Amino acid sequence: MNASARTSGRDDTAGFFKNPAVHRIGWALAGLSILLLLWGIFGYYIAQNPDTKSFSAFGLIPTLEAFPRLFQEGKIQDAVYASSYRLFGGLIIAIIIGLPIGVLVGRNKRFRELSHSPFQLLRMVSPLAWMPIAVFVFSQWDSSIIFLIAMASIWPVIFATAAGLAKVDPAWFMVARNLGARPMHMLTRIIMPAITFDVLSGIRLALGVAWIVLVPAEYLGVTSGLGYAIEDARETLSYDHLTAMVVTIGVIGYTLDTMLVVLIKRFSWHRGNN
């Protein structure tokens, strides 16, 4: 191999490791490795201590061994399906209702001033505080949980949409009106392209809130879902199943959040500078 070929090979290798995507993946894997290492050490000391040996199933190895059994029995798949149905049902309702309200808040000063206090008051109510009302109003637990998720996630959508619209230059609307744009054109050609980044950021926040509300909401009444699986594992003292479900919740939540981050970067006006 001549000198130029060796130099080219070193440059390719250096370029690979300098790639931002490789850097992000490397740091992510390093962080997860540290977390798993600490979990393994924690589980080892629990198993070695006679006072805590009965809780050794919380450790890393028993948890990893539980995954094949749970998959084979279909428990993880069933729980994920049930929880996904409730999660996305509530999020879709929040987006369908919250997006037009957010546009109205951002575009109409009178409505914004009139709705500010009521919205802030309702926003500060814990979503789980609506549980007794939801159970009374809805005949099915699924509908109650979807309502709670919608109540929790609608506010980030509304306020992010309104904040995004407030940043749009009013001259854009003036130019569009002078060119004969109709309200639908304003919405589809100016408003939505301009606030997509903010809307997706709001949906990301809404997803985080909804994901937190979902699990405790499933502790009550239902016989399916990730929250129910955790409660059932606790009652049957299946600690390895419990931690496996907790890890499943974390993996799914992390994956959904990462997908939204990718979309947010795609629609960011500053993505060319990143």
Dihedral sign for Cα atoms in the order 61, 66, 72, 74: negative
CA gap 74, 84 in Å, rounded: 15
Residue 69 in any domain: the answer is no
pLDDT at 177: 74
pLDDT at 151: 93
pLDDT at 27: 80
pLDDT at 272: 45
pLDDT at 273: 43
* Closest CA relative to residue 214, chosen from 147, 159, 154, 119: 147
Q: Residue 219 sits in a domain of what CATH number? A: 1.10.3720.10
pLDDT at 82: 93
Positions of the chain with pLDDT under 70: 1-21, 268-274
Tokens of 220: 């009550």
pLDDT at 2: 56
What total of structural domains would you count in the chain? 1
pLDDT at 207: 93
Residue 7 in any domain: the answer is no
Residue 170 in any domain: the answer is yes
Tokens of 176: 């569009």
Residue 179 in any domain: the answer is yes
pLDDT at 89: 94
* Closest CA relative to residue 183, chosen from 234, 108, 125: 108
At 74, give phi and psi (nearest 5°): 80, 10
CA gap 120, 118 in Å, rounded: 6
CA gap 41, 53 in Å, rounded: 14
Residue 55 in any domain: the answer is no
Residue 136 in any domain: the answer is yes
| C-alpha count within 13 angstroms, C-beta hemisphere, residue 246 | 14
pLDDT in tens, 155-211: 999 999 998 888 877 777 777 777 777 777 777 777 777 888 889 999 999 999 999
**Which residue range is the domain that position 107 belongs to?**
74-268
pTM: 0.80
* CB-CB contact of 214 with 227 (8 Å): yes
Residue 197 in any domain: the answer is yes
Residue 60 in any domain: the answer is no
CA gap 258, 40 in Å, rounded: 26
